Structure 1
Amino acid sequence: MSALAGTVALGANHAAAAHAAPPTESKLRVEIVGLDGKPLGPGPAYPATAEGALAAAAAKGNEPSPEQATPEFQKAVSELADRPAGKPMLAQELPEYFLNLCKNDPRAESATGHVFHRLFWCQRFGLKARAYRGTTLSGEVTLKWIAAAVGNYKIRTNTFWLQPTFAGDNWGDYGNALTTQLTVGPVCAATGDPGCSTNYGPLTLPLEDWQRHVRIGQWTSWNIDSDETKSSAPDKVSNHKWHITTGVHTPEPGNEWSADSPDNGMRCDSALYFRDDPRACTSSDVIPWLPVLSGFLTEYAAHIRQALDAPDTTFPPEPHPKLIPGKYFYGDSTKPGLHRIPESESGANRAEARKACVKIPTHGPDQECDEYPFASTMEGAASIPWDFSVKYIDGWQNRWGGNDLQDFYRSSRILYKLQDTFYVNIIG
């Protein structure tokens, strides 16, 4: 007898001992739950808009986190952002740094997974299918996995990866690893999303094959694609929804059971002002933010922190309480953020900031006048609703901070104006 057959027989014997077999005429009912014991099913609904994505991000906890400011994190982002166009990613090319985060970070262990960056959603989860006859538990099977959705800055697609990490606990009605079949895979939201499609349907395999995939560490991939011709929005923006669908089949005729995970957001665009990256798809349920390290750019960070935390102490003074946007408050996506504008529209902000800078009486020879909010945002110095701050800081830090901002616009795919909102938080 094979090892697998022995395992199946042991599972069946265990089931017989633990649960008296119910009469065969009892009607079968199956409940599919997540590893947390909660029934799988749709979560709260959020509008397929930029504002809806921010609300979903705050609710799911996809918010600014200190590790995003580390060189290791930024290197992993670059590995994904700089992939050549038209070159399919192989499983072994998934960034090890992100996979280790997924395997060890408790935020990934949920029905919604976790968006670590717009380019990387990950989940460490699974399902249990529990069979009942009447009120008696008559069988159970478990499938665990690690899954990742990797964005793309070259074409309008997300690549979804899934690797089973455990398949078993099969007994009772699910005691046969050959005839028990399990289904897992990504699908687009069923309604209101005509531009979204996947290149393959969900994967359905006998439990025995899932167990083989576990043994060899098999990854399976799908493309979640976006058709730009279906969008009439600026930059051909499409806000899609997708989720993981799961299912279980038993030999008893007519018994197909399924359940879906909560929706995840995917934003795709054809923004040609990203000259090297004219098309893209990213995870949208995440709060974009620019991390500024106070231990590195000390004067630059101190100015932004002062503007965000103590605006009334900044220059120029105003006869009213100053309102300076851009600070993120955890759990609240409604706080005012910043919105990028084209460089060609930043002149008014720079001119207004210069008028304030010349009124500062003294500064050192190596200092430059820094402004916040940034001139490249709608909320800059010329903005009517918002106030601003200027301060002389080390010139090298001022230029480095400006370069960091431009890198952030690309690495986080920040679109122009109200299509995107981002925040600035100081680390340290």
Structure 2
Amino acid sequence: MAAVVVALLTAAAPLSAPAHAAPQADRQVVGDAGLTIKTTVGISGEDLERLRAQGRQSGTPARPAEPQVADRAAQHDQRQRVPALSLIEGQRAANRQIAAHPQPARPASEALPGPMVAAPIGEQPAAARVTECFDAGGADAGIGRVHNRFTYCARIKLTAEYWRIDNKGIPVEKEGTTTGTIEIFTQGDDKERRVRVFSRIQEDSVDYDWGPFDNIFVAPNVPLSLIGHCSEEFETCHATRGAATMAWVTWDNNSRWFYWDVYNHEVVTEGRDKLSFNRWYVSAFTDSRQYRTIRPGNTAPRLTRRDSATYFQRFGTRYPKACVFAETIPHLTYDLVSDYTDVSLHIWHAQNNPNDTYPMLAPDGVPWPRDKKIPGKFFPGDNTAPGLHRITGELHPALVEANSDHKNGACYGKPPYGHMYQLTGLPVPPDTTIEECDEYPFASTLEGAGHPDPENPDFNFSVEAVNGHDNSVAGGKLIAYYLDDRILAWDAGLEQPYQVNDKFYVNIRG
């Protein structure tokens, strides 16, 4: 009887076990306290005794063997394909995960360069970025850590139970348990519609509980395979390379990452920028002469958004396609203590005390009709709060012009809208020798001065005189942020545009 391997991971439904299988209490348990993978492996008594005999004959413990990476064509495809998600379906799925598992903000120290340009995807991930992601917290709980729009990491506890099976394949006696930790580090690409999924077993994380003899001569030699997959049909996406297969003892003494590229095709897309959502996952299985996989173990699929926007560039280099992680909230962080403090203070006041900002809702002495509601404040875990949508001069010239005209009217009383702010705009215009007029929401957003909220159509923005140097530095950070977090420009032609267009927030850090 060939050995039988049954894998249950976080995303898989519980296996309908035979009457003599592992008891209900031993079934998989998954919660926010940690990511857990539990596998159940069957092995025939004949095969088990053969392994024990080989151990007695060798008289030495198992030694690490060279890893094997199989050709994709040689792999048995056990994937369960799912239909592609529409944009609204994908965004709703991302919102649910964000609400259930609020991701921590980026680390306070942003010493490393941003993910664009400075983070090429290589055969092995950059050690500093791996450390940054795992050390930031959250990698071993919830959905793992979506560190930013281009970086994801997770540590997943793996428990493999090995059962002797009878000639009908029914588990009859537990032989032992092997435990370890799977590490996953994934990078989104800034020039292709792909992610590179790196995975390995954390070094020195494997333990065996099979009994004194089997712990040395049997359990370490049991093989384990890992492979990366996409969830959707082949015409939508595909993953490259075959499985990495090693014995447990080899995985445990290995620091090398193995990777798979998950590509999305420009087939099922929406909108100007050819948008689509894809899911990817890592599968654990065993297929060999002794072992046969009945059900592979699949990690919970993670959601990515792919695009082919043509307007991203930096220093002459273009970034025509990209893949970002959807299950996090895009947000720009400004520091109060910085070389752009004036701008940070202005935004903080606009977000937290909007009624104390200019333009006023009514002239002095006139009752205010309502409160000002200025959007864009970052709330961890809330992707439904009113956010900001990017616009560009090339794609939205009239919108950008309107923002500028209303800002100049509220700051300087200039036409064509100066008359609207004569009694409510800045009482003293900025001193143009050292100051500039700063507006929030930004001039490069749909929510800027010229485009109020349809439900509250007047004056839901703020202007303030700020130091010109501060304004220049803060503006540079905003331009870099649009590239580094791949914030797409507003596309009014999308179905339900306010739900599916990229939106972002501003976090003022004290």
| TM bucket, shorter chain | 0.7 to 0.9
Q: Which structure 2 residues correspond to residues 9-408 of structure 1 after superposition, within 5 A?
A: 29=22, 36=34, 38=36, 48-67=89-108, 70-73=109-112, 75=113, 77-78=114-115, 80-82=116-118, 89-91=122-124, 94-110=125-141, 112-131=143-162, 137-165=174-202, 166-169=205-208, 171=210, 176-177=218-219, 180-190=222-232, 194-207=235-248, 211-247=249-285, 256-275=294-313, 276-296=318-338, 297-318=340-361, 319=368, 320-343=370-393, 344=397, 345-358=399-412, 359-362=425-428, 363-364=430-431, 365-385=433-453, 387-408=460-481
Shift of 1:260: 2.0
1:377 offset after TM fit, Å?
0.7
CA shift, 1:248, in A, is 5.2
Q: Determine the C-alpha separation between the residues in 1 that align with 2:221 and 2:254.
A: 21
Q: Which AA in structure 1 matches 2:178?
A: V
| Compared CA separation, residues 62 and 27, structure 1 to 2 (3 A) | same
* Paired residues of 1:32 and 1:39 also in contact (CA < 8 A): yes
| Partner SS state of residue 341, structure 1 | coil
1:327 and 1:337 in contact (8 A); partners too: yes
Preserved CA contact (<8 Å) 2:410 2:463: yes
Distance 1:132 1:262, change over 3 A: same
Percent identity over the alignment is 28
- Give the whole-Å Cα distance in 2 for the aligned partners of 1:37 and 1:333: 23
- Which amino acid in structure 1 is aligned with residue 447 of structure 2? E
TM-score by length of 1: 0.81
* 3-state SS in 1 of match to 2:267: helix
- Is the contact made by 2:224 and 2:246 (CA closer than 8 Å) also made in structure 1? yes
In structure 2, distance between residues paired with 1:179 and 1:251: 14
- Report the equivalent of 1:3: none
Q: Which amino acid aligns with 1:81?
A: V
Cα offset, 1:240, TM superposition? 0.7
- The corresponding residue for 2:62 is none
Whole-angstrom CA distance in 2 between matches of 1:374 and 1:308: 13
Rg comparison, structure with higher value: 2
SS in 2 for 1:256: strand
CA distance in 1: counterparts of 2:199 and 2:329, whole angstroms:
25
Asked whether the equivalents of residues 179 and 251 of structure 1 are also in contact (C-alpha less than 8 Å), the reply is no
Consecutive unaligned residues of structure 1, counting only runs of 5 or more, are 1-24
In structure 2, stretches of 5+ residues that fail to align are 1-17, 40-79, 165-170, 362-367, 413-424, 491-496
Note if contact 2:36-2:158 (Cα within 8 Å) is conserved in structure 1. no
Q: In 1, are the aligned partners of 2:102 and 2:381 still within 8 Å (CA)?
A: yes
Q: Which residue, out of 485, 491, 500, partners 1:412?
A: 485
Q: Is the 8 A contact 2:107 2:136 kept in 1?
A: no
Q: Distance in 1 between matches of 2:37 and 2:196?
A: 26
Distance change >3 Å, CA 230–CA 82, structure 1 → 2 = farther
Check whether the contact 1:40–1:260 (CA below 8 A) recurs between aligned residues. no
1:8 is matched with which residue? none
Deviation beyond 6 Å, 4+ runs, structure 1: 133-136, 172-175, 249-253
CA change 1:353–1:162 in 2 (3 A) is: same
Name the CA distance, whole Å, in 2 between partners of 1:110 and 1:136. 32
Q: Aligned partner of 2:117: which letter?
A: A
Structure 1 residues 331, 36: closer, same or farther in 2, change over 3 A?
closer
Alpha-carbon deviation of 1:212?
2.1
Q: Distance in 1 between matches of 2:375 and 2:486?
A: 20
Q: What TM-score results when the alignment is normalised by the length of structure 2?
A: 0.68
Q: Which residue of 2 aligns with 1:427?
A: 509
| 1:241 shift after superposition | 1.1
What amino acid is the match of 2:349?
Answer: Q
User: Does structure 2 conserve the Cα–Cα contact (< 8 Å) formed by 1:290 and 1:424?
Assistant: yes
* Kept in 2: contact 1:143–1:164 (CA 8 A): yes
- Give RMSD over aligned pairs: 3.2
CA contact (8 A) 1:32 1:127 kept: no
Q: Distance in 1 between matches of 2:291 and 2:127?
A: 44
> Cα gap change, 1:252/1:95 in structure 2, threshold over 3 Å: closer, same or farther?
closer
Q: CA offsets per residue over residues 42-75 of structure 1, 9 Å max, x none?
A: 9xx99643353244234222243442xx3414x1
- One-letter identity of the residue aligned with 1:284: A
Tell me which moved more, 129-138 or 355-364: 129-138
Shift of 1:217: 1.4
Greater helix percent: which structure?
Answer: 1
Q: How many residues align?
A: 388
- Once the two structures are superposed, residues 194-242 of structure 1 have per-residue CA deviations (whole angstroms, 9 ceiling, x without a partner) of 42210024434333xxx22432412111101111233243311111111
Structure 1 residues 96 and 253: alpha-carbon distance in aligned structure 2, compared to 1, 3 A threshold: closer
